[in-house]
Structure 1
């Protein structure tokens, strides 16, 4: 450590981070990844979506113990801009003191990634490092958590405090490993601790590792191997919407792919409670296959909406809808549970169903808003961590 201007600079290492599976050294500092290098190397080079979202630190947080009353964190963000759509809000840093949210802030500067959903092209514009500051913290020894923005790639450059920092004491809580789509990633949630998996983890009293990967929950074998190799006590996989969004496979491929995905997880976690969660209600894709496409009329009016571009008649040829996926996932889990009593199924409509859609419709036809994230997190906690839930006793 070294002191500069009455501040102590502490190296950012894996001992201060939770929720990241790997740290990559960069020209500026370190970049948290939620998939290891071997998994990233097995994704096609043209899939910029996965490369983008796994480097967005959903669920990743700096965790340490200190007497500091002032904290500064230098970061280099990458903010997304969608051509024709309203500007996205800045990513939010949530500061927790002894488990309680006490401050929120954002950072300026950083890179810009401009995405044209019509042409599929992207443009990267470099920018400077910024600083997020948390002054006026209470005196005394305390546990600090800084949850990084769930929707902005964030290189960690420097951590400065006005008192020494040490790794937080392990509280012995169980680790919950979750995988899902952009909804699990936290799309359109208010802040990183307000994404539904973070809310559920807080209510359940567990440590979260969030492998929600926006647009990329595609039953990839490298993701299954990552789940297999990551130490965890409780595991859940939310399967379905991205397979419809991308029109990736037909029912014939889906069934063995799910079996293979679960087999691989079980190779590393043979007896851990494993919960398979089907999609929440998404009216545009309940009975209409993908792909999902931007609504160009709405985009022309400055509004980001999605539509189902498939034909319901194509279900007869095996194209997937959410109704088909739920039925098949329930059947697969019933079949496997005869030999795997720790395997469980949760219908996603128990988290967000028709009544919820009437009250809290999906603003862009796909993703829940902040209030809906809170509802889903609360319901998942009750259904999974409650007395009769598969994760009870966590």
Structure 2
């Protein structure tokens, strides 16, 4: 162990990051983005801006024999007015592909969200430090997974030995897009969101475009998927379209076709898996929008309700059942000319039997145990021999 005076200070740069599509330079360092600047310029929605700047699946990757690592970072943590504090974001550190330790940081901005008033306020804070010690004293590959739900500006790495970029390796790249469930809502830590667990079991590199509240068939997201080099692509479509009450059936089908057409413009033969929504009882047969029930907010309990009327399906309002039927039909139609297009019913990842055992705590989002189950299920259904993402299809 070197003395602190002999530690090596390394600015965080894009070359040390994986899982980000863009990097913004700020007064504190760099801010990873999961959508490119052109996409961000085409939508002023605050929910999307928050979601894509939260580094789900983004990690710092380098090689070193360091036994101690410090990361200076400025997170932005969410606080809900009238509710108890949320748990601080967790940083997962891997050594040669295995989880070695976890830590939380200090400092940070605070984003205060008043759900009743529909307002937000940002309270600035200071850059803090995340510390990891006791790492093995040998040359090793180190990955630091950033908190999936905290926008995080990265300043400096301090290590007790020099670092160098880790080699890229030869693992296939899986590019996934979905909603807050794919983003990692309520997962235990960034490497325990279901896509990260599935990627680990499948032996692939993850780029996660799970965007909380923002999987809305946006054309700029389709272009980001089209333009990002990847060996495997999946798109999980449905729940956000219902709980935002964004469109009707007449618009939905053509929008799905357009989304897939755009991806195929750049990735004509890449295995492409369309995933329908997991089970969500409040929206199976009842349209959106969703609205939070804040009556128990002071105890930290938020539940969501479906505000639509099942009778509105007749006028084209979307439910999860309607979306599954339409997605299955679209994939059947397109697969006649696209042999690399596949469909997965989301209820195979989380269905009625799972809900009976592991109900959705807030009626919309799974808990940590369900993330693990979904990741394990997806690995079996997608990466096993004969499945859409099997190695022989590479």
Bin for the TM-score computed over the shorter chain = over 0.9
CA contact (8 A) 1:85 1:304 kept: no
2:123 equivalent to 1:121:
no
CA contact (8 A) 1:86 1:303 kept: no
Which residue of structure 1 lines up, in the alignment, with residue 31 of structure 2? 31
- How far the C-alpha of 1:82 sits from its partner, in A, is 1.3
- How far the C-alpha of 1:248 sits from its partner, in A, is 0.2
CA contact (8 A) 1:181 1:217 kept: yes
Which residue of structure 2 lines up, in the alignment, with residue 198 of structure 1? 196
Which residue of structure 2 lines up, in the alignment, with residue 384 of structure 1? 382
- CA distance change for structure 1 residues 86 and 304 in 2, over 3 Å: closer, same or farther? farther
Which residue of structure 1 lines up, in the alignment, with residue 19 of structure 2? 19
CA contact (8 A) 1:178 1:210 kept: yes
Which residue of structure 2 lines up, in the alignment, with residue 346 of structure 1? 344
- How far the C-alpha of 1:301 sits from its partner, in A, is 5.4
SS, match of residue 210 in structure 1: strand
CA contact (8 A) 2:180 2:210 kept: yes
Runs of 4 or more, structure 1, over 4 Å off, are: none
- How far the C-alpha of 1:135 sits from its partner, in A, is 1.2
TM (norm. structure 2) is 0.97
* Alignment equivalent of 1:145, drawn from 143, 146, 168: 143
CA distance in structure 2 between the partners assigned to 1:320 and 1:299 by the alignment? 29
CA distance in structure 1 between the partners assigned to 2:46 and 2:137 by the alignment? 45
CA distance in structure 1 between the partners assigned to 2:363 and 2:91 by the alignment? 27
- How far the C-alpha of 1:108 sits from its partner, in A, is 1.6
Instruction: Write out per-residue CA displacement over residues 172-220 of structure 1, whole angstroms, 9 at most, x where no aligned residue.
Output: 1100000000000000000000000000000000000000000000000
- How far the C-alpha of 1:311 sits from its partner, in A, is 0.8
CA contact (8 A) 2:84 2:298 kept: no
* Alignment equivalent of 2:240, drawn from 239, 242, 267: 242
* Alignment equivalent of 1:87, drawn from 58, 66, 85: 85
CA distance in structure 2 between the partners assigned to 1:136 and 1:129 by the alignment? 24
**RMSD value over aligned CA atoms?**
1.1
SS, match of residue 354 in structure 2: helix
CA distance in structure 2 between the partners assigned to 1:304 and 1:83 by the alignment? 12
CA distance in structure 2 between the partners assigned to 1:86 and 1:358 by the alignment? 28
Q: What does 1:252-271 correspond to in 2, within 5 Å?
A: 252-271=250-269
- How far the C-alpha of 1:70 sits from its partner, in A, is 0.8
How many residue pairs get matched?
390
SS, match of residue 297 in structure 1: coil
Q: What does 1:1-394 correspond to in 2, within 5 Å?
A: 5-43=5-43, 45=44, 47-299=45-297, 302-393=300-391
- CA distance change for structure 1 residues 298 and 127 in 2, over 3 Å: closer, same or farther? same
SS, match of residue 253 in structure 2: helix
What 5-or-longer segments of structure 1 have no aligned partner?
Answer: none
- How far the C-alpha of 1:388 sits from its partner, in A, is 1.9
CA distance in structure 1 between the partners assigned to 2:189 and 2:298 by the alignment? 28
What 5-or-longer segments of structure 2 have no aligned partner?
Answer: none
CA distance in structure 1 between the partners assigned to 2:173 and 2:164 by the alignment? 21
